[in-house]
Structure 1
Amino acid sequence: MAEQKFKGQVAIVTGAGKGIGYEVARQLALQGANVIVNDRDPELIQKASAKLNALDGGKTYPLAGDAGDINIIQKLVDEAVAQFGRLNIAIASAGITLFGDFLEYGKEPFQEVLTVNLQGSFFLAQRAAKQMISQQAGGRILFMSSVTGHQAHKDLAAYGMTKAALEMLAKNLVIELSQYGITVNTVAPGATLTERTLEDEDYKSTWARITPMGRAGRVEDVANAVLFLVSPESEHITGQNLIVDGGWTAVSVSPY
């Protein structure tokens, strides 16, 4: 059985139906946390929660809905308190990637990317922070950034812009929230093997070739970084970004 480092802690993880978000929720639960898990697909998040509840660890409670919707965000915080009595950790893992040529990119995909990636993260942090402040026990907030917030990537102008913005948001919230004992950090994954990325049959081999460490990332690599930044060991780390990319941003070889 995993070390119960998060026993008694209560977390929210958005985008937890699959991929990185699911692995983050899984590791938190294995280490004793109770977790409100969210995805906009009701069937997917119900199945994910059932799998997590079969583990020998903390319990999860599923809440389906768009993580960019402020009403859903408030429900996530309210449900954490209703189900488990408090909120200690909020992880904005939900995000949407909509590729498109800059010169042809339309208003609808632009607004969708901003709503999920920025609005969702901003207001989850706001509503979670209010709850944490009321508890007077500090807390941890984490945003999921990306290497595309550091290096230009073809057809991802809007997406990369949102990810860079999240890192600035984390820095700014140091001023707003440090006095309450709340840390705010970001993790920036590089190429990572998930259900979505593996739909491209060349993805794994391409990124293994151009990543200095010789492979694309695994969801466990990202989740390990996330759990460190929301753990007691990181209580003096805030406003920082941790890149998890096998060294890719050091060389930035294009996959194209």
Structure 2
Amino acid sequence: MLFKNKVAIVTGAGRGIGFEICKQLAMEGATILLNDLDHALTSSATAAINMLRKDSCTGMEGDAGDISFTREIVAFAVEKFGHVDIVIANAGITLFGDFFTYPPESFIKTMQVNLAGTFFLAQSAACQMKLQQSGGSILFTSSVTGHQAHKNLAAYGMSKAALEMLAKSLVIELSQYGINVNTIAPGATLTERTMEDPDYRETWSRITPMGRPAFVSDIANAALFLVSDKAKHITGQNLIIDGGWTSVSVSPE
């Protein structure tokens, strides 16, 4: 029970990577505040985790890109559970588009959710952890597209690279309070969304050196390590989980 008596907030967790992180945290003893924008996903994900471990998960729907909501979710966690130990800013949005015609509204939305939401969630969480005087762990979800160019994802890749710089910058601000902050950068991963593409598994299995895209458990395993006490001396770092893809960077057709 690596996370016994720990309280964790995870955004964008109604399905996919975020849900798997919540599930694994709960099975390791954590109390979870699970967030998603979608009401139905929030409810179903929370219920599924509570079926695995009773009363381990509370759902809170809301827009993780809304700055006022990032404050509300931290305040709610403190009100309900008394403290916050782990925050995983997993919520993000991917809006594809050709650079020459990429609309301003798509750019602004991408930056609002991926950057502003993450920045101000981290701010609210860090203020609370500082007040608690017991340290804490913050984790951001970046992407391999923050390291290697990907067609029609200039804005998205830019936002994800910025998250990694944010983690480095916060080392200066947070280390003195015992708070570590890191990022994970998933590569191609089999989720409900990516599997809507019938060619996704075959394509990424062909161009990934390890012979397959990631499972959500591969990403969650890395995330849990970085927010555990086993990684307390690791901060300002990024961990790429991509089966070696960024080493060769073969582009999917």
CA distance in structure 2 between the partners assigned to 1:168 and 1:129 by the alignment:
17
Structure 1 counterpart of 2:202: 205
* SS of equivalent to 2:52: coil
Structure 1 counterpart of 2:232: 235
Superposed CA RMSD in Å reads: 0.8
Distance 1:57 1:245, change over 3 A: farther
Structure 1 counterpart of 2:132: 135
Alignment identity in percent?
A: 64
Counterpart pick for 1:60 among 57, 62, 66: 57
- TM-score with structure 1 setting the length: 0.98
CA distance in structure 1 between the partners assigned to 2:54 and 2:182 by the alignment:
25
CA distance in structure 2 between the partners assigned to 1:58 and 1:203 by the alignment:
36
Residue 160 of structure 1, CA deviation: 0.1
* SS of equivalent to 1:142: strand
- TM-score with structure 2 setting the length: 0.99
Q: Is 1:23 matched up with 2:16?
A: no
Structure 2 counterpart of 1:8: 5
**TM alignment of 1:168-179, pairs within 5 A:** 168-179=165-176
CA distance in structure 1 between the partners assigned to 2:41 and 2:110 by the alignment:
21
**TM alignment of 1:1-256, pairs within 5 A:** 4-56=1-53, 59-256=56-253
Between the two proteins, the alignment pairs up a number of residues equal to: 253
CA distance in structure 2 between the partners assigned to 1:106 and 1:194 by the alignment:
27
CA distance in structure 1 between the partners assigned to 2:76 and 2:198 by the alignment:
39
Letter in 2 for 1:237: I
Residue 70 of structure 1, CA deviation: 1.2
CA distance in structure 2 between the partners assigned to 1:72 and 1:39 by the alignment:
12
Residue 56 of structure 1, CA deviation: 2.6
CA distance in structure 2 between the partners assigned to 1:153 and 1:57 by the alignment:
42
Residue 58 of structure 1, CA deviation: 6.2
Letter in 2 for 1:34: T
Long gaps (5+) in structure 2: none
CA distance in structure 2 between the partners assigned to 1:28 and 1:75 by the alignment:
22
Moved beyond 3 Å, runs of 4+: none
CA distance in structure 2 between the partners assigned to 1:58 and 1:160 by the alignment:
37
Distance 1:213 1:194, change over 3 A: same
CA distance in structure 1 between the partners assigned to 2:148 and 2:24 by the alignment:
29
* SS of equivalent to 1:32: coil
Long gaps (5+) in structure 1: none
